Amino acid sequence: MVYERKVNYYETDGMRVVHHSNYIRFLEEARIFYMDKMGLPYGKMEEEGIMIPVLGVNCEYKHSAKFEDILEIDVKIKEYTSVRITMQYTVTNKTTGLLCLTGETKHCFTDENMKPVSLKKVKPYMHEIFSKEI
């Protein structure tokens, strides 16, 4: 699934190049968008007591993006168990056609007390939705 966004000025440095830390935010935006589209808005999951903390982030920066460039972030589920999920991302600069970044984020599912849970056991309907995306 592709999430598209325009680079804002405040996301750039003095050379109008996107600061590397902002790509992590872009990945989060894409992940939230993806979950909304698959019918599991993050806010709804939180209301039902499911949290999805980040366990790790891995990014390989390829080409810079600049102020006002349009980015396309292709996001998909790389791996899913009922306890953990790994999301995979490809960020392409639609303006230039260049690949900006490849990466992944790793997460687990927890209750409100940050205790790991199995969606298959505690929220079977959520487990079914995630399982269909693989």
Which CA distances in Å does 78 have to 12, 21, 23, 26, 101? 29, 22, 19, 18, 16
Neighbours of 7 (CB within 10 A): 21
Give catalytic residue positions. 13
Residues facing 85 on adjacent strands: 80, 107
